[in-house]
Amino acid sequence: MEDQILKTPIEYLKGIGSQRAEILKKDLGVFRYENLLEHYPFRYIDRTRFYKINELNPDLPAVQILGRIVSKEIVGDKRVKRLVARFKDDTGIMELVWFQSLRWMDKIIQPGSVFIVFGKPSLFNGHFSISHPELEAYQPNAVSQGNLTLQPVYSSTEKLKQFNLDTKGIQRAQAALIDQCIRQITETLPPYLMKNHNLISRQKALYNIHFPESVEALREAQRRLKFEELFFIQLKLLRTKVLRTQKFKGSIFENVGDNFNTFYTQKLPFELTTAQKRVIKEIRQDTQRGVQMNRLLQGDVGSGKTVVALMIMLLAIDNGYQACIMAPTEILAQQHYSSIKALLGDDFVSVEILTGSTPKKARRGLHERLESGELNIIVGTHALIEDAVQFRNLGLVVIDEQHRFGVEQRARLWRKNIIPPHVLVMTATPIPRTLAMTLYGDLDISIIDELPAGRKPIKTVHLFHSQRLRMFGFMREEIAKGRQVYIVYPLIKESEKLDLLYLEAGIEAISNEFPLPEYRISIVHGKLAAKDKAAEMQRFIKGETQIMVATTVIEVGVNVPNASVMIIENAERFGLSQLHQLRGRVGRGAEQSFCILMSSLKLSADAKTRLETMVRTNDGFEIAEIDLQLRGPGNIEGTQQSGVLDLKLADLALDQQLLSEARKTVIEILENDPDLVNEENLILRKYFEKRSGGISWDKIS
């Protein structure tokens, strides 16, 4: 019964109708009853407390004031037009200001009318004002729903407010919906699970999340609904993993042979770190279980992931298999190829590269040598996925930078052998543990958490635009020592024109400070053709230019050991993980490297935290944790495409303990009942299949 009622189109809800339904669909993604029920309040406010105007101070959160509109006027010309109303109570006068929906607001607020105003007060020129407040016509006898000290606040939009669907309007719609369907809401978790984790019923939780009876009831409702979200995500991921291990047998690499040993004892130019040795051991154990390996290798920039991958490739070759490494761009593939060749030398194992620009004739030769098994390692881009590329016996696939490749592309590489090859995914973006457990829950995770000996930490400083001369002086000193410098400008998507202006103004200033013939500059931006971009990059890599100016983020992984200075202009516009990635472009050689963050004087609290974090630490995992807290999981690189993070209430930064609890529970359930056929787990199976659109277990993965 619940199915039917919650699938009802939203236009049929009392008080909604077709016009409002259209806006709800467009602005909030609310199509059916169930979507509205899952549009949870983002906070709760105490509606029993009214403030007086003379009690206001700018540190207060949103407050509620009862008063009368005295007058109103539209101020400013068309670009900066605003509606200003003077609002009075028995202790003073303040302003209410609107910058949008002026015509509509102008109709609503008439001098003399009495309103309850709700919003955050701010102080401007000695007067208090509230921008875009919520308004409610004062009705002394109106009955409010739920507990007045915990009134729900819902996110809304300007367009919705025009249709009376502000937070109050949404609250009314939720009340109508709950009245109509609360009794038909069915349970999704088995009784034993609710008992073990001390969870309230789903019915009670959904009622109390919208209209909490008390602070305690709200806390229990949040805990129950968050647990359910995290539990079903983990069930989906771990079930996929169980299926894969049942379904796909894996090649066994039992011999540690000549290639591996000779490389380790004679060719490796440095001592492996403890973390690298530990990871090699973890991977080695995977390749001996007879099950296809799927492992995520996480390591900070420069932690030596490539060497680990190379040693596993040599292990595959020792056992009669071929290996391939796939990178997202030609520049990166070229770089992997160069570093692998440099490590292996010429007459050790055969290594070739295949990209979009490999000539036709050379391609044919490569294809033949791969099919005959003569070629041991191939490095490439998406070109490796093409049907024409056939291996004699592919045993290991290494994929660089996970978020650039879809699951479908990985699957096409699996099909290159009768027994699917082992898969090692490398990422240079450290991912917080909780996020990794959620995004890559179906992969085993290995972490390289130390840098090679002798690597000097990069020194990071934050300068304001007014200290630019100091920056130029520092650049001259470093270039005089024979070093190279990166200067990166942000790419602000909304305004490519603005970007190029920034870049052009920047280049002009730099060309004046660093004139020819003494200094030479490479320039890379999004408007350049791919081959011009590659040519400019090559000039810098070869050391023909000392300064590289770029808008588009310099390719992840581009390795120029002689570049020792990274200057990031308008650093406040970058996210933390982006700043950390950019900083990782330097510090590749033995010399001390530097990162200079340039910003304007006006910084938001978040921007300040980001820049302070960068100056304070080089630890990518710590940075990723702070990034998760600042930005929330939805924006962390790659999570949007993953489709996994459909979290309505749970927060991966705050609910780490609950996530671990949910994951542990799922592991226990799947160990005892992998197909969820036991009587007590049928409710889970049913709910899961319903959520996956009727997908049967064996189709997942």
Q: What is the 3-state secondary structure (H, E, C) of 120-142?
A: CCEEECCEEEEECCEEEECCCCC
pLDDT tier, 140 (very low <50, low <70, confident <90, very high otherwise): confident
Q: Name which residue leads in pLDDT, 518 or 455.
A: 518
Q: Tell which phi-psi region holds residue 302, choosing left (phi > 0), alpha (psi between -120 and 50) or beta.
A: left
Say whether pLDDT at 475 is over 90: yes
- At residue 700, the pLDDT reads 36
Residue 546: which residues within 8 A CB-CB, separation 6 or more? Answer: 479, 483, 484, 485, 514, 519, 520, 521
pLDDT for residue 286 is more than 50: yes
User: How far, in Å, CA of 91 to CA of 138, rounded?
Assistant: 18
Backbone angles phi, psi at 260, to 5 degrees: -60, -50
Three-state SS string over 156-203 comes to CCHHHHHCCCCHHHHHHHHHHHHHHHHHHCCCCCCHHHHHHCCCCCHH
Whether the CA torsion 291, 297, 303, 305 is positive or negative: it is positive
Q: Using the predicted structure, report yes or no on whether residue 699 has a pLDDT greater than 70.
A: no
Residue 471's pLDDT is 93
d(CA 57, CA 123): 8
Instruction: Indicate whether 496 pLDDT > 70.
Output: no
User: Which has the closest alpha carbon to 239: 692, 546, 693?
Assistant: 692
Contact call for residues 427 and 296 (beta carbons, < 8 A):
yes
Q: How far apart are CA 150 and CA 313, in angstroms?
A: 59
**Confidence (pLDDT) at 45:** 81
Count the Cβ atoms, other than its own, within 10 Å of residue 557: 23
How confident is the model over 237-263, as pLDDT tens digits?
A: 888 888 777 777 888 999 888 999 999
The pLDDT assigned to 638 comes to 46
- In DSSP terms, which residues pair with 64 in a beta bridge? 118
Whether the per-residue pLDDT at 310 is higher than 90: the answer is yes
- State percent of the chain over pLDDT 70: 90
Name, of 160-174, 191-205, 401-415, 639-653, the range with top average pLDDT: 191-205
- Position 440 pLDDT exceeds 80: no
Please state the three-class secondary structure of 408-470 as a single string. Answer: HHHHHHHCCCCCCCEEEEEECCCCCHHHHHHHCCCCEEEEECCCCCCCCCCEEEEEEHHHHHH
Whether the per-residue pLDDT at 206 is higher than 90: the answer is yes
More confident residue, 194 or 57: 194
For CA atoms 599, 605, 610, 615, the dihedral sign is positive
Q: How far apart are CA 391 and CA 166, in angstroms?
A: 60
Across the range 139-167, mean pLDDT stands at 80
Q: How far is residue 232's CA from residue 688's CA, in Å, rounded to a whole number?
A: 8
DSSP conformational letter for 488: E
> Residue 476's pLDDT is what?
94
Phi, psi of 352 (to 5 degrees): -135, 170
Question: How far, rounded to the nearest angstrom, does the alpha carbon of residue 64 sit from its chain's CA centroid?
Answer: 36
What is the rounded CA–CA span in Å between residue 6 and residue 430? 40
Give pLDDT, residue 456. 82
Residue 314 binned pLDDT confidence (cut-offs 50, 70, 90)? very high
pLDDT for 217: 92
Q: How confident is the model at residue 669 (pLDDT cuts 50, 70, 90)?
A: very high
| Stretch among 430-444, 508-522, 535-549, 672-686 having the lowest mean pLDDT | 430-444
Task: Choose between 58 and 491: higher pLDDT.
Answer: 58
**177-191, 331-345, 646-660: lowest mean pLDDT where?**
646-660
Least confident span in 42-56, 410-424, 659-673: 410-424
The dihedral built from the CA positions of residue 499, 503, 504 and 506, taken in this order, carries a sign that is positive
Pairing of strands 547-550, 484-488: parallel
Q: State the pLDDT confidence band at 696, using cuts at 50, 70 and 90.
A: very low
Number of other CB atoms surrounding residue 646 within 10 Å: 11
8 Å CB contact between 632 and 606: no
Task: Grade residue 10 by pLDDT with cuts at 50, 70 and 90.
Answer: very high
Q: pLDDT value at position 315?
A: 95
Asked if residues 170 and 15 have their Cβ atoms less than 8 Å apart, the reply is: no
Q: Is the pLDDT of residue 231 over 90?
A: yes
Classify each residue of 298-320 as buried b or exposed e, where b means 16 or more C-beta atoms within 10 Å of its C-beta: bbbbbbbbbbbbbbbbbbbbbbe
Distances (CA, A) of 181 to 9, 184, 207: 14, 5, 10
pLDDT of residue 402: 55
pLDDT at residue 515 greater than cutoff 60: yes
**For 162-195, what is each residue's pLDDT tens digit?**
888 888 899 999 999 999 999 989 999 999 999 9
Bridge partners, 123 (sequence order): 128
In 3D, which of 344, 274, 290, 284 has the Cα closest to residue 315?
A: 284
| Whether residue 377 has pLDDT greater than 50 | yes
Q: Are 64 and 116 in contact (CB under 8 A)?
A: yes
Which residue carries 């206001």 as its tokens? 56
pLDDT band with cut points at 50, 70 and 90 for residue 643: very low
Nearest to 106 by CA among 138, 81, 89: 81
Mean pLDDT across the chain: 85
DSSP labels, 278-337? HHHHHHHHHTTTTB--EEEEEE-TTS-HHHHHHHHHHHHHHTT-EEEEE-SSHHHHHHHH
Q: What is the pLDDT of residue 641?
A: 39
- pLDDT number for residue 259: 92
Query: Which tens digit of pLDDT belongs to each residue from 74-108?
Result: 988 877 889 999 999 999 999 999 988 888 888 88
Q: What is the pLDDT of residue 324?
A: 93
Give 236-284 as a DSSP string.
HHHHHHHHHHHH-B--------HHHHHIIIII--SPPPHHHHHHHHHHH
Predicted pLDDT of residue 568: 92
3-state SS, residue 30: coil
> For 590-600, what is each residue's pLDDT tens digit?
789 999 999 98
Which range, 35-39, 335-339, 580-584, 602-606, is most confident?
35-39
Instruction: Give yes or no for residue 685 having a pLDDT over 50.
Output: yes
Tell me what percent of the residues of the chain surpass a pLDDT of 90. 40
Query: Quick one: pLDDT at residue 219?
Result: 93
Q: What is the predicted pLDDT for the residue at 532?
A: 85
What are 299's strand-pairing partners?
448
Q: How many CA atoms lie less than 13 Å away from 462 in the CB half-sphere?
A: 19
pTM of the model: 0.70
**Residues 367-383, mean pLDDT to the nearest whole number:** 91
Q: How far apart are CA 464 and CA 364, in angstroms?
A: 55
**pLDDT of 302:** 76
- H helix count then E strand count, the chain: 25, 22
Q: Which of 64-78, 424-438, 516-530 has the highest mean predicted lDDT (pLDDT)?
A: 64-78
* CA gap 649, 42 in Å, rounded: 9
Residue 556 in this model has a pLDDT that exceeds 60:
no
| Residues 211-224, mean pLDDT to the nearest whole number | 93
Per DSSP, the three-state class of 385 is helix
13: phi then psi, degrees, rounded to nearest 5:
-75, 140
Choose the most confident range, by mean pLDDT, from 132-136, 491-495, 692-696.
Answer: 132-136
